[in-house]
Amino acid sequence: MSFLIVLAVLCFLMLVAYRGYSVILFAPVAALGAVLLTDPQLVAPMFTGLFMDKMVGFLKLYFPVFLLGAVFGKVIELSGFSKAIVQATIRMVGAQRAMLSIVLVCALLTYGGVSLFVVVFAVYPFAAELFRQSNIPKRLIPGTIALGAFTFTMDALPGTPQIQNIIPTTFFGTNTWAAPVLGTLGGVFILIVGLLYLDWRRRVAARNGDGYGDAATLVNEPVAFAGGRLAHPLVAILPLLLVGVVNKLLTLWIPAHYGDSASFVPAVIGNPAPVVQEVAKVAAIWAVEGALLAGIACVLLFAWKPVKASFAEGSKSAISGALLAGMNTASEYGFGAVIAALPGFLVVANALGSIPNPLVNEAVTVTALAGITGSASGGMSIALAAMADTFIANAHAAGIPMDVLHRVAAMASGGMDTLPHNGAVITLLAVTGLTHRQAYKDIFAVTCIKTLAVFVVIGLYYAFGLT
């Protein structure tokens, strides 16, 4: 019964998300409904002590990233840089390869360490412009961005600095370059199959006469640039490159400068206790925030006049988008925390442990828990915290290197996590102004390709002993 309760609320939340209802409202309704059916007296304690605690904790850490990311995307749009990049891209690769261009830009930013959420805000303005000029339906933008940002550069390619590739290192004693051959082959598989799928969708739309869409009905469309002459493409792409470079430099400099922690005594009346901040927990977030500030400053330096002319109104829409995206994702984060604390979740986790093959066991367990919680990092953290010792023991018995365990766990985390209730999916759809009904089909197809890639990697290991 406890398992059926978890399954029911998960299906309920996916259904309401798909039908366009607010996850901010229905994530706590679903989570607390599960608690009510499991142990009614825990509804209030779970709501305040777990759901709200996790939700507010997420906003405390990540809302500045959402806000700066939204502002960065908006100034890229207002400056005309997005249009300049698009025109240069069309000249270089042709309008028919618009999807490849967006995937590669997303991949470059993600592999450079830029947060997935920031990539969505930063890339959407020129993705919309490129798709419009290439007459590709707007509904294909989310699937294209998802392929570039949420898949092979998130956890498959060796060395990626995304959190999904970092978490396994603490459990298996590996590093982010674990199983480089398997990771690269898995990444290439995802890229090729994903592009083939998206190009097929583009060709079907073209045969049916589907264009970008009716401007009168589209939502969250970037403002058309009316500032005169466009910037040189190299100047236009400089802020994007600067974000990646500064993020990397600050990631190295912040821990070296601050050490393990930083503390200060607030200048208030009385004898307040010192405020101590553990730097390791926020260094990556500080680095992203600093990089985004540098990117915004770069845009203002080269395009002050066109940005200034529309910044008052443009910033309002950017902030509204950041608030909606941040609250959606935070609400999902709280939902995942509550579900993970219920007895039914343990039933699922324990049942998954009965799969005999070590690598298949790990892959199915991680991707299933990521799907239930709606979070790649959350699902993987729960799975490895509970079962890493079992995975390691089974791997040693079968002679499987820890590097392979690392790569399989990382790639599996980014599989079924992108179900309809996933925070990144909801953010992506909110930013692009599309609904689940319009665009989720392609995101789900990319999700299936990503999940399949994990088992391709497992097959390659068993067939050829690659690591």
Express each pLDDT in 278-337 by its tens digit.
888 788 788 888 988 999 999 999 999 888 988 888 888 889 888 887 888 788 888 888
32 alpha-carbon distance from chain centroid: 26
pLDDT, greater one: 36 or 225: 36
Rg of the Cα atoms in the chain = 22
SS3 424: helix
Q: So where are the chain's domains?
A: 1-464
Query: Mean pLDDT across the chain, nearest whole number?
Result: 88
Residue-wise pLDDT for 321-346, tens only, equals 888 878 887 888 888 889 888 898 88
204-240 per-position pLDDT tens digit:
999 999 999 988 889 888 877 666 678 888 898 898 8
Percentage of the chain beyond pLDDT 70 is 98
Write the single-letter amino acid at 27: A
Please give the structure tokens belonging to residue 107. 């991949």
DSSP state of 50: I
**375 pLDDT more than 90:** no
Burial level of 428, CB count in 10 A (0-12/13-18/19+)?
A: buried
Q: Taking the CA atoms of 184, 190, 196 and 201 in sequence, report the sign of the dihedral they define.
A: negative
Nearest alpha-carbon partner for 412 in 205, 201, 165: 165
Token pair of 371 as six digits: 């799907």
